[in-house]
Chain A
Amino acid sequence: MNTSILEEQRKVPRTLSARALSQVKNNGALWAFFLLLLINILITPNFLQIQTLYVNLTQVATVAIVAIGMTLVIASGGIDLSVGALMALAGTIAPMIFLSDFAASSPALGLFLAIVVAISAAGLAGLFNGYLISVYKIQPIIATLILFISGRGIAQVLTNGELQTFDNPSFEFIGTGRIFGIPVQAIITMVLALSIAWVLKRSIYGRFLLAVGGNEKAAELAGVPAKKVKMITYMVCGLLAGIAGLITTAINSASDANQTGQLMELDAISAAIVGGVLLTGGKAPILGAVLGAAIIQLVGYTLLANGVHDAVAMVAKAIIIIVAVYLQQVKGAK
């Protein structure tokens, strides 16, 4: 187990772009992505337009951000079911703060606090997940089930389940704004993806994470602070879910505790898997997760743009997940 981790690391190409390339080459996701693009260019009307790109970028950003966190968690050998609930929580807290009387008197500080407190709350919730999992040794699926059930409940209790609508251009900027014509959330996604991929490659945390995911006992015996690594991982996953929750809220210019992030855990897990993360842990393809999110988004768009029922897209997604995992295993067995 140990030697395989070492080999894995030796095989990792030097530069980030080369690494990204090898990641996608290995799981075939890139080929699938190009195939989808080709199909769309051939059959989807008006596909090659900048508007199409914007629509897809806007829709894919939140899934991609959450999928990055999910990839980290899965790489540590766990799973996080609570991400959708944490999105709702963060998305609910932010407007409560910037709509308050305090924020009315000092809007800039109010907005700053709204964003920081909301994301921190999600991060704290993630830390709570990590604490249950690493200290109490509760299986991740059960530990995160707790916040899956009550996280959204807390958000609903805070707002009494009602929609909070708002008109706050500076906050909505993260959902609807553009920089040099590129949607802001797409930029946020890429910045997060690249910096986390860089941290994984360059920092000791990245090495520890893969070691814990590969073989936790061996890693612990080798002196890796497994508990701390796991807690950080779940916290980061929570933080990312919080960011995604704020973006969703900003796009809608309303926070809806009932709907924000609904079923997001499924999309994020699917994207992470299509992106090439191994369920057995020990591998964290961050850019793969972004690509996985893009593929799933593109499949949905292709079907929708060609007049196929929305529900059929769910069945298609199901088949994609099974095929992706099956191919991964066939390749692994070789």
Chain B
Amino acid sequence: MNILSMVSNLPGMKRKAHSSRQAEGVLVALVVITLFASLRYDAFLSEYNIMTFLAYNSMFILIGLGMCFVIMTGGIDLSVGSVVALSSVVVAKVSEYGIEVALPVGILVGVTTGAINAFVITRLKIVPFIATLAMMLGARGMALVISGNQSVDVSWESNFTQFGLGKMFDFIPWPVVAMLVAFAFCWLLLEKFAFGRHVLAIGGNEEASKLMGLEVNRTLFGVYVLSGALAGLSGVMLASGFGAGQPLEGLGWELSAIAAVVVGGTLLTGGLGSITSTLLGAILLGLIFNILNFENGLGTISFSAYWQSVIRGGFLLVVVIIQAKIMNRKKAHS
């Protein structure tokens, strides 16, 4: 019970009963899995594992945060995986000028694709699913065109790879720092600024929000640009952490991001959601892979990497069924 009360005091979890219950569930699952893993595997709680895990998953957490905003408005952004690839290719091309140039360029790539998505959605009135599906193809195509169909080597002379591989104070990997900053930014945006309330209002009822005089289009614009920008940042991490711009990377990442958001308890119908529990959801899904690796390391049973997707899918299944049961019961009561 202690954990539960702790969670309900966490920021951002008080607003909605449903969301908070789900967040409690996610946190409990996270704690249980972590406890289990730390007892079973010696190196699980080592600094190395924790930092490597967080650094790698920062990329997924970033696009998960963007996706959370998009989904809260009742939309979807299928283009993020391709935008990660496009951004990684573009920043690899400019990596010789150093991270000071590459970082803004990568984010700008994402902002541009996000702005195009927003234009198609708000001006041409095409549903987000189709608009971002087209961008998924378009951005992937652009990535392949720019890279000439192969991975683009980054410059090792400049400080570019320092971002992906280096650590702040020799302790926290830079991607984790960037992820935490982005998380804080998103949290503030949702909880403390009018923008966040507008996002939720639009997701709750777009028509009513419009009638109330909310700048619906402007808010939607902001949401898709934010999602794009975070994907762009994720692309910088990819290129800088793996030493290459990779036009074929990021396949299916948008769906992992959606899974993280859903596991975190944000409903696809929009209108409510939590940044904190999206973060937890992304970590939870990432942990499955981490634990699989450790389990194989023990040598008693061997799961191939392919089991990862089977288990993730099964996990998602359990979560959505529980969610659906809660929702349907609530509907039956009201």
Stretch from A35-43, A63-71, A152-160 at the B interface: A152-160
Q: Which of B129, B269, B312, B324 contacts A79 (CB 8 A)?
A: B129
User: Considering the chains assembled together, what is the distance between the CA atoms of A149 and B145 in angstroms?
Assistant: 28
A:260-277 near B, CB below 8 Å: 262, 266, 269-270, 273
CB-based contact B309/A315 at 8 Å: no
Stretch from B50-58, B131-139, B184-192, B194-202 at the A interface: B131-139
CB distance from B268 to the nearest CB of A (A): 5
CB-based contact A141/B268 at 8 Å: yes
* Prevailing SS type, chain B contact patch: helix
The answer to whether the Cβ of B178 comes within 8 Å of any Cβ in the partner chain is: no
The answer to whether the Cβ of A279 comes within 8 Å of any Cβ in the partner chain is: yes
User: Considering the chains assembled together, what is the distance between the CA atoms of A157 and B314 in angstroms?
Assistant: 14
CB-based contact A147/B313 at 8 Å: yes
User: Considering the chains assembled together, what is the distance between the CA atoms of A148 and B99 in angstroms?
Assistant: 36
* Prevailing SS type, chain A contact patch: helix
In the complex, what residues of B have CB within 8 A of residue A79's CB?
129
CB-based contact B307/A153 at 8 Å: yes
Q: Which of B134, B268, B269, B312 contacts A321 (CB 8 A)?
A: B134
The answer to whether the Cβ of A22 comes within 8 Å of any Cβ in the partner chain is: no
Given contacts A145-B316, A325-B130, contact A154 B310 (CB under 8 A): yes
Nearest-neighbor residue (CB-CB) of A140 within chain B: B268
In the complex, what residues of B have CB within 8 A of residue A227's CB?
none
Nearest-neighbor residue (CB-CB) of A280 within chain B: B127
The answer to whether the Cβ of A319 comes within 8 Å of any Cβ in the partner chain is: yes
Which of B125, B130, B252, B255 is most buried by chain A, counting CB atoms within 10 A of its CB? B130
In the complex, what residues of B have CB within 8 A of residue A317's CB?
134, 137, 141
Given contacts A136-B321, A160-B304, A161-B304, contact A149 B259 (CB under 8 A): yes
CB-based contact A322/B120 at 8 Å: yes
Given contacts A137-B324, A157-B306, contact A311 B130 (CB under 8 A): no
CB-based contact A309/B314 at 8 Å: no
The answer to whether the Cβ of A142 comes within 8 Å of any Cβ in the partner chain is: yes
CB distance from A205 to the nearest CB of B (A): 26
User: Considering the chains assembled together, what is the distance between the CA atoms of A313 and B138 in angstroms?
Assistant: 9
In the complex, what residues of B have CB within 8 A of residue A314's CB?
137-138, 140-141, 144
Nearest-neighbor residue (CB-CB) of B135 within chain A: A318
In the complex, what residues of A have CB within 8 A of residue B45's CB?
none
User: Considering the chains assembled together, what is the distance between the CA atoms of A144 and B327 in angstroms?
Assistant: 19
CB-based contact A311/B304 at 8 Å: no
The answer to whether the Cβ of B1 comes within 8 Å of any Cβ in the partner chain is: no
CB-based contact B320/A157 at 8 Å: no
B:280-334 near A, CB below 8 Å: 304-314, 316-317, 320-321, 324-325, 327-328
Q: Beta-carbon contacts of B217-260 to A below 8 Å, as 1s and 0s?
A: 00000000000000000000000000000000001100110110
CB distance from B193 to the nearest CB of A (A): 28
The answer to whether the Cβ of B262 comes within 8 Å of any Cβ in the partner chain is: yes
Nearest-neighbor residue (CB-CB) of B127 within chain A: A279
CB-based contact A322/B124 at 8 Å: yes
CB-based contact A309/B145 at 8 Å: yes
Binding site for B on A (CB under 8 A): 79, 81, 132, 136-139, 141-143, 145-154, 156-157, 160-161, 262, 266, 269-270, 273, 279, 309-319, 321-322, 325-326, 329
Known: A138-B320, A311-B140. 13 other contacts (CB 8 A): A79-B129, A136-B325, A137-B327, A139-B269, A145-B255, A150-B310, A150-B314, A269-B133, A315-B141, A318-B135, A318-B136, A322-B134, A329-B124
5 contacts between A and B (CB under 8 A): A139-B269, A142-B316, A279-B130, A314-B138, A322-B134
Please give me the 9 A-B residue pairs with the lowest Cβ-Cβ distance, nearest first: A150-B313, A314-B141, A153-B309, A311-B144, A318-B138, A156-B306, A315-B141, A153-B310, A149-B313
